[in-house]
Structure 1
Amino acid sequence: MKLTALLERLQYEVVQGTKEIEITELTNDSRKVTEGSVFVCISGAVSDGHQYIEEVGKKGAAAVIVEKDVEAPKHMTVIRVEDTRYALALASAAYFGYPAEQLKVIGITGTKGKTTTTYMVKSILEEVGHKVGLIGTIEAIIGDEVIPAVNTTPESFTIHQYFRKMVDAGCDAVVMEVSSQGLMLHRTAGIPFEIGIFTNLGEDHIGPNEHKDFEDYKRCKGLLFRQCKIGIANVDDPYFKDVFREATCEIETFGFSEKADLRAEHAELVTRPGYLGVAYHVAGLMDFDVEIDIPGTFSVYNSLTAIAVCRHFNVPSEKIQKALKVAKVKGRIEMVKVSDEFTLMIDYAHNAMSLESLLTTLKEYHPKRLVCLFGCGGNRSKTRRYEMGEVSGRLADLTIITSDNPRFEEPQEIIDDIKIGMKKTDGAYVEICDRKEAIRYAIVNGQPGDVIVLAGKGHEDYQEIKGVKYAMDERDLIADILAEEREREQ
């Protein structure tokens, strides 16, 4: 591939050498540089790629793309751009042959709801024959290949690598979570989004390594709507107008409000033994009834978002109804059948805000008892432990305190911190350090009408102890416990 082809959509200056050269690879990781590579120097939070120019030169790099003045070995071409992150995004698209242009790309941004909504959209579109790739917080899905995620929105090179694999696998659409960090760091620059979605906004991700303030967070969310054809927004969110202030796309809205183009009416909670859900009527741009096997008002928003997207793919209402009944997200209010008398679910809630939201939602179903099992991660803020203990003590009828990922801390010390928060309430609790035994206690002592939540692990299939990740999937633990209890009864 010619270097000129890689740079064709960029503004740049040739500082040294010539752009009329053949190149072999594109990378921003100095460890992956080989003979003939182009190395993009990214100024990161941990290290600055410009420091590695001499090293990559010795490995045979043919060219470097920089945003600073540098000294480079004479054999290397030096390309200067204004922003190397932006350059990496556009160069990656070129390197993989612009695969996004062969896909309908759907981007979902917002503080909450991104993950569940991506799976709902994928489920509905596949119901009518589309082959849909997915990029999100839990994993990337490309045909039959599942790749565990590192970031909600991967680096731009990885995104285009996935897009290329999706096109080669026969996908015609992709739904992806688009984080504010991903937008701020140009990971999604140059992607021609067909549809952009705004779910909601909460005061999250503000800090030295993320967004400097809430205004910056809002601004970054809004970048998606300057890069898509159609923007679909939650009109009920107080920050909707702020996020769309500089939007250049067509705008549609969804929500409970009468102003919404697509709205939910007559929402009601549905409860049966071992089952919690929600039902409502879709009005406005479409007209039909929906029932979903995921509890809570936020499930109405998530499903309404998915419906708004799939309307643009001309999906019939009966196909939407069917797909929403089976759409499941691993570890997000994931119900696991263990009894006809009580309900058990697994959820990723691993901080006070998400746990409060989850438990408040479940209390609306008026369970006989709300039982919350959770632990906290080691080598993380102690404040989170106090806060989660206090939330569970206040909202749950019984809390089972156990271990999560203790990392390099002692599990019992983490439990003791959680109890400090618990003791600010008059909530009942037990402590069982071994997570499997804690789950066994919850199941064996389940009472008719109970709702039991295993919080914190969600989709994770490991437990991290002293630097080692041991296999541990709560679904497997539950299956083992049920088998062991059956044996015991015989």
Structure 2
Amino acid sequence: MKISDLVKNMEEVEVIGNDIDIKKLCYSTSDIDENSLFFCIVGLNVDGHTFIKKAIENGAKAIVVSKDLEPLNDVTVIKVKDTREAMSLISSNFYGNPSKEIDVIGITGTNGKTTSTFMMKSILEVANKKTSLLGTIYNIIGSKKEEAKRTTPESKDLQGLFRDMINFGDDSCIMEVSSHSLDLKRVYGVDFKVGIFTNLTQDHLDFHSDMGSYFNAKMKLFDNSEYAVINIDDEYGRKAVNKIKGKVLTYGLTNEANLFASDILISSEGAKFKLNYKGESEEILLHLPGKFNIYNALGCIGAALILNITLEDIKKGLESLSSVPGRSEKITSSKGFTVIIDYAHTPDGLTNILSTTKEYTDGNLIALFGCGGDRDRTKRPLMGKAAGEIADFCVVTSDNPRGEEPSDIIQDIIPGVKATGCNYTVIENRKDAIKYAIDNAKKGDVIVIAGKGHETYQILKNETIHFDEKEIVLDFLKEEL
């Protein structure tokens, strides 16, 4: 594609050099072939402008920059204000603006994004929509499923995936949209049919300076969404309704919302509620427990209604979803206790899973959790407090310590647990902690292993090891027999 076509409809762009034909887009020098265009992305730790010489040596014929350069021989320079923004727009043009050809449903919020994508996909498929999914666990396009490398792909990769979806014959895409991706403009220029806002609680303050910045990042999704579906029971959801200029449908648990749930019954097997919308009602049975999953379902119902999907198909879609990997996954021991594996890694997420589990726990509720390293330290005591206020016993352990010492992270958690008066123990090695909890569990007890959910690895300083909690639990339960 000619450079003039790649920069079509872009503002504040200057092309210095020939209008050459580009065969490939790259933001890593290792991907460059002949006739490639290289984006000099200014990252958090690395500036892509420092790799210009390497990019040219590898065959790049065009360079996208945001800084002044000395003239480059035989290389076209595309000068822009923001190389991330330019990568999104150029990539969209390169792949033929694919998000205009499919219904893209984006879900943002602190908790509930992954479960909501699975709910939404189930609804769309019952309605005979050919649907792709992009999220934290998997990317599913057509018949192809692979583990996701990040919650929201980089813009160049994302636009390529949209084109793959269309080539596979898909007409819909449901995707998680992280606050990082919004701030880093990975979804800049994507045409979203519907944006869903689940909730906002403390997380990622290592990246966003404060909750206001975190909220503002989330709101960027709705700048490019034709419709917005907003949880107005959430404090920030109510703020969002006042900020969004487009069409808004609200949901919640009271009739203040356009779409609301009533007659709620929650058990260990799931959640039952009555859906109410424009004078119509429908009984819905979820196989996923907890009030928080009712909220997830309501957001998806709102999006489905906007897409003109019938209540009958919505009901079938939600009721056909039996589980989501690493989200409230239940394993029952022959000794009569239960293990729940869940991704909860925020204070609010931990409160949600523990309070739901507490309702059907006959014995003691044991919370096993840690906190990630090189992330927001201020939420660590809050995690301890959330667990201690609900659980009968806490096992404080390691999570993904990354570059920090696990013991230092644990020491940040402990004051929160102590403040509640809850009994606890510290076992730094996570596998040993799981074994301890299982060895000491009695009939009627429930162990909630929180923080990693679907992840099959643990990040320890400079190495990543295989660590699949479901495998580990099943192995320990076999030893119990």
TM-score in terms of structure 1 length: 0.87
- The whole-number CA distance in structure 2 between the counterparts of 1:444 and 1:206 is 36
Of 343-352 and 401-410, the range deviating more from structure 2: 401-410
**1:369 paired to 2:364:** yes
Specify which of 229, 234, 237 is matched with residue 237 of structure 1. 234
Preserved contact between residue 202 and residue 211 of structure 2 (Cα < 8 Å): yes
Preserved contact between residue 14 and residue 77 of structure 1 (Cα < 8 Å): no
Preserved contact between residue 204 and residue 376 of structure 2 (Cα < 8 Å): no
- The whole-number CA distance in structure 1 between the counterparts of 2:405 and 2:242 is 49
Aligned residue for 1:268? 265
Aligned residue for 2:192? 193
Question: 1:281-296 alignment to 2 at 5 Å?
Answer: 281-285=274-278, 286-296=280-290
Count how many residue pairs are aligned between Structure 1 and Structure 2.
479
Aligned residue for 1:100? 99
Q: What letter matches 1:86 in structure 2?
A: E
Alpha-carbon offset, residue 148 of structure 1: 3.0
Aligned residue for 1:75? 74
Question: 1:445-456 alignment to 2 at 5 Å?
Answer: 445-456=440-451
Aligned residue for 2:169? 170
**1:2 paired to 2:2:** yes
- The whole-number CA distance in structure 1 between the counterparts of 2:476 and 2:462 is 27
- The whole-number CA distance in structure 2 between the counterparts of 1:201 and 1:481 is 36
- The whole-number CA distance in structure 1 between the counterparts of 2:195 and 2:406 is 42
TM-score in terms of structure 2 length: 0.89
SS at match of 1:336: strand
Q: Decide whether aligned partners of structure 1 residues 252 and 401 sit closer, same or farther in structure 2, where only a CA change above 3 A counts.
A: closer
Preserved contact between residue 219 and residue 243 of structure 1 (Cα < 8 Å): no
Aligned residue for 1:303? 297
Preserved contact between residue 14 and residue 80 of structure 2 (Cα < 8 Å): no
SS at match of 1:18: coil
User: Which whole-Å deviations, capped at 9, do the CAs of 1:71-106 have from their partners, x for residues lacking one?
Assistant: 231211122223222211111112223222222100
Q: Decide whether aligned partners of structure 1 residues 167 and 65 sit closer, same or farther in structure 2, where only a CA change above 3 A counts.
A: same
Question: 1:386-465 alignment to 2 at 5 Å?
Answer: 386-405=381-400, 422-431=417-426, 435-465=430-460
Alpha-carbon offset, residue 133 of structure 1: 1.1
**1:220 paired to 2:217:** yes
SS at match of 1:50: helix
Alpha-carbon offset, residue 301 of structure 1: 0.7
Q: Which stretches in structure 1 are left out of the alignment for 5+ residues?
A: none
Q: Decide whether aligned partners of structure 1 residues 102 and 32 sit closer, same or farther in structure 2, where only a CA change above 3 A counts.
A: same
- Identity, in percent, stands at 41
Q: Decide whether aligned partners of structure 1 residues 160 and 289 sit closer, same or farther in structure 2, where only a CA change above 3 A counts.
A: same
- The whole-number CA distance in structure 2 between the counterparts of 1:409 and 1:241 is 37
Preserved contact between residue 111 and residue 198 of structure 2 (Cα < 8 Å): yes
User: Which whole-Å deviations, capped at 9, do the CAs of 1:223-277 have from their partners, x for residues lacking one?
Assistant: 322312221111223333532445343221111231211111111222xxxx342
Aligned residue for 2:178? 179
- The whole-number CA distance in structure 1 between the counterparts of 2:204 and 2:430 is 30
Alpha-carbon offset, residue 367 of structure 1: 4.0
SS at match of 2:70: coil
User: Which whole-Å deviations, capped at 9, do the CAs of 1:118-164 have from their partners, x for residues lacking one?
Assistant: 11101121223222111122332223433333432221111112112
RMSD (Å), alpha carbons: 2.9
- The whole-number CA distance in structure 1 between the counterparts of 2:66 and 2:236 is 35
Preserved contact between residue 54 and residue 72 of structure 1 (Cα < 8 Å): no
Q: Which stretches in structure 2 are left out of the alignment for 5+ residues?
A: none
Q: What letter matches 2:141 in structure 1?
A: I
Aligned residue for 1:66? 65
Q: Decide whether aligned partners of structure 1 residues 39 and 268 sit closer, same or farther in structure 2, where only a CA change above 3 A counts.
A: same
Q: Decide whether aligned partners of structure 1 residues 148 and 5 sit closer, same or farther in structure 2, where only a CA change above 3 A counts.
A: same
User: Which whole-Å deviations, capped at 9, do the CAs of 1:307-333 have from their partners, x for residues lacking one?
Assistant: 112223443434433432325221122
